[in-house]
Chain A
Amino acid sequence: MTIDPIALAAATLGLATPLLLAALGELVAERAGILNVGVEGLMLAGAFAGMLGSWASGSPTIGMLCACGAALALAALFALWVVVLDVEQVVAGVAVNLLALGATGVLYRAIFGQTGSALTVATFAPLAIAPGVAALAPLRQPLPVYVALALVPAVWFFLGRTRLGLRLRAAGEAPQAAESVGVNVGATRTGAILVAALFAGAAGGYLSLAYSNTFVEGMSAGRGFIALAIVVFGRWRPSGILIGAWLFGAASALQFQLQAAGVAVPFHLLLMLPYVLTLVVLALTSRDARGPAALAQRRRLSAAAD
């Protein structure tokens, strides 16, 4: 059995990127007190809109903008429900997932018919970094991979070193106290939801415009849910999330490699590996983990219980 470390590293980076993007976005939302179980749906909408945009314009960049825009629109609906109507966040998130699944499915068939033939669109090409050096091959990734990596310190700086980030954290820890010193909790949370949607949309766009060159129904394939797990795993910190995304990406990449190497372990059991690994890690590390105090709490209910 042979594992190629260079190929493994390359695949890890690629597989980790959508998870990293979606989880960083979810982190921003959760630090503001919003649990969005609908990341999966936002990603799916992003993947579809990204493909559509690239197909119509021939430009993956425009496709990426469409991906972010679609997720943004869907998230605006989510924000209306959880911020303005103050409903149970988990339930609204489930609705977002259903909506995205239905809408992308219906639109895909409406626009492209029921032809099974693969529709391919223009994608982001890998950057030509150090073309001659074989050992640096893993660095030759499309631009979104680097943008995602750059967002890790950017999110850290935003949350920890800006006035807006401080207000956002206050809204997620103690919304009533924050409100009493003039923080507009509703607006802050809406902003956080929309920023998170941009990230999730980009994650979806990455799937259809960089990781592959097409869209298939349900192509987010649970990555949004894994992003939720990665936020918990990363203990609500950007650095922890980077580690979580890489770990998960590596587990997926390893599983592909083992499969390709013809290891005797059945393919489906290997597919379980990332999920089981996540559960094991959470079981080992969650004991004293502590998320934002007001995460997923309804403001009216917590106000009444005061």
Chain B
Amino acid sequence: MTGGESAPRLALRALEKRYGSQRALAGVSLALAGGTIHGLLGENGAGKSTLVRIVAGALAPDGGTMAIDGESVPFGGARAARAAGIGVVFQHFALVGALSVAENLFLGRPEAQARVITPARLAAEARDLAERHGIAIGDPAARVDTLPVGAQARVEILRALSARVRILLLDEPTAVLTPGEIAELFTILRRLRAEGVLVVLITHKLGEALDVCDTVTVMRAGRVVATLPADGASPASLATLMVGGIEDAIPGADAAEPASAAPGRASALALRDVCTRPGVGRVALDHITLDVAAGEICGVAGVDGNGQDELAAALYGLLPRAGEVRVGATAVASADVGAAQRAGLALIPGDRRRDGLALRLAIWENVLLSQPLLARATHRGLLDVDEARRDATELAREYRVVYQDVDQPIGDLSGGNQQRVVIGRALATTPAALIAVNPTRGLDIGASAQVHATLRRIAATGTAVLLVSTDLDELHTLCARLFVLYRGALRGPVERGEGARLAALMAGIAS
């Protein structure tokens, strides 16, 4: 640690950033010492990522100053930030998938002088770099989009370290990693700390922050709420700081008993030996057999990229599959969304912007984004627009969507309100079985609590819910039975309280 007298490694003063009327950063000041690991905590929308992007030079602030080791550093773009010794690992890895590992590493070094490059030379440089930092990267000529996410994360970190780094920022790097990969990452971070680097780790996983960090800063609504040593903090005290003491907005794990299947109830959703083919960037499902009873919320845990999207897509007819899927007594044909919908399946897609909404279309039009609902609003091919508007208004009231006008483009709504529309639409068909993929991703605690209540309510009315989520807290809160997806295979069930076994299954260690 640097002495108390010397200037902090990174000093931020009064950072301001606005998006329209929204204040993403409202006067943030921080002073962080070198040779430490600092945790930056906060809910979605607290301003963590905005802060990182500003320090990294990816975003210009509306006001404020930055100093490194006492020297004022202007906000001057990615290249200048790098020259000042700032390295960044972004949340969605900023790698170019179609290029090779070596090419990505070279691209990340704007100061690299070579104007002419050959694959052999790039590969040699990449190996050199990997060796110097003790980070394994495998074949430097491999295309990045063919690598598993853990390997991509290592490439990204190596790239950040390829310049002489005084400050390393990591924006939620662990979201896509297995526990083993996370431990490996933390080893690297601790080594960097020992070398005197300031490591800033952005995360919303409280346990993780307390595990590896020396000090922790909590942000809320664009402001710093507190900076405190990790030693004295507990997950509960940090959570309270993050949400601002609105205790009733936090759904405690004991707030309600998880929905469980009454013994002997019929299976409402049955999977028998469901398999899919592998593809580019796609995991093959491996003989998945599962029964979800009517009224049950059955959880599927797993690190992102282990077949969650493929499972939802295969069940909902978006991906060809082998094996049998039944909803009640109805067999569902493969690769036929219409058949899945007719059988009584509904889907809350994991990426609502990509798969669930047409952002420039009106709210009422997005409510019709489902063949059964469109058919209901269409009479002899003609669309009853007034009826559709009324239905959308009704749905918005029922799900407490905040909006001005059902004719307004849905892209204008906040993420939480968009998700309410997506969920309301999925449930408007009163499905016999519902597949929900990360239904609270990107939502704040209040909106998440509402989603959880909705899932409980729908289960209570007899719908079978298959909840696919990467959020273990969410799964523990809602599900009595948990399974784990690992590389396309389903493991489990895991009972509540078997945390160690769950982690082992997610890491593919136990079976």
Contact = CB atoms under 8 A, between A and B. Distances in A.
A162 B110 contact: no
B116 A178 contact: no
B112 A161 contact: no
B92 interface: yes
Contact of A170 (B79, B88, B99, B112): B99
Interface-centre pick from B107, B110, B411 (highest chain A CB count, 10 A) = B107
A174 to B, nearest CB: 4
A176 B108 CA distance: 13
A305 B359 contact: yes
A181 interface: yes
B262 interface: no
A177 B94 contact: yes
B116 A182 contact: no
A162 B115 contact: yes
B110 A182 contact: yes
Nearest to A174: B96
Contacts of A183: 107, 110
Interface string A262-306: 000000000000000000000000000000110000000000111
B13 to A, nearest CB: 25
Contact of A293 (B77, B98, B103): B98
Contact of A181 (B114, B115, B159, B411): B159
A178 B117 contact: no
Contacts of B79: 182
Contacts of A88: none
A179 B117 CA distance: 21
A164 to B, nearest CB: 7
A37 to B, nearest CB: 23
Nearest to B53: A180
Contacts of B82: 182
B97 interface: yes
Nearest to A165: B117
Contacts of B115: 162-164
Given A173-B97, A304-B411, A161 B108 contact: no
Contacts of A304: 359, 411
Nearest to A167: B107
B422 to A, nearest CB: 15
Contacts, number: 71
A180 B78 contact: yes
Size bracket of the A interface: 20 to 34
B116 A181 contact: no
A235 interface: no
Contacts of A292: 98
B159 A163 contact: no
A166 interface: yes
B58 A179 contact: yes
B108 to A, nearest CB: 5
B292 interface: no
A189 interface: no
A223 interface: no
Nearest to A164: B115
Interface string B352-384: 011000010000000000000000000000000
Contacts of B159: 181
A305 B93 CA distance: 16
Given A163-B115, A293-B97, A304-B359, A182 B353 contact: no
Interface in B299-355: 353-354
Interface in B61-102: 77-79, 82, 88, 90, 92-99
Contact of B114 (A163, A173, A179, A306): A163
Interface-centre pick from A167, A174, A182, A304 (highest chain B CB count, 10 A) = A182
A292 B97 CA distance: 11
A166 B106 contact: yes
B94 A176 contact: yes
B118 interface: yes
B359 A178 contact: no
Contacts of B93: 177
Interface in A114-172: 161-164, 166-167, 169-170
Nearest to B159: A181
A183 B99 CA distance: 15
A306 B351 CA distance: 10
Given A173-B97, A173-B99, A177-B96, A162 B108 contact: no
A300 to B, nearest CB: 12
Contacts of B118: 161
Interface in B402-424: 411
Nearest to B357: A305
B96 A306 contact: no
A270 B117 CA distance: 46
Given A162-B117, A163-B112, A305-B353, A181 B98 contact: no
A178 B77 contact: no
A181 B94 contact: yes
A270 B499 CA distance: 74
B107 A170 contact: yes
A179 B78 contact: yes
A180 B115 CA distance: 20
Given A163-B112, A173-B97, A181 B107 contact: yes
A173 B98 contact: yes
Interface in B43-58: 56, 58
B105 to A, nearest CB: 10
Given A174-B94, A292-B98, 15 more contacts: A162-B117, A163-B114, A163-B115, A166-B106, A169-B98, A173-B96, A174-B97, A177-B95, A181-B94, A181-B159, A182-B82, A182-B110, A183-B110, A293-B97, A305-B354
* Complex A-B, nearest 6 residue pairs according to Cβ-Cβ distance, in ascending order: A182-B79, A182-B110, A180-B94, A177-B94, A182-B78, A174-B96
11 contacts: A161-B118, A164-B115, A169-B99, A176-B94, A177-B94, A177-B96, A179-B58, A179-B78, A180-B58, A180-B90, A306-B92
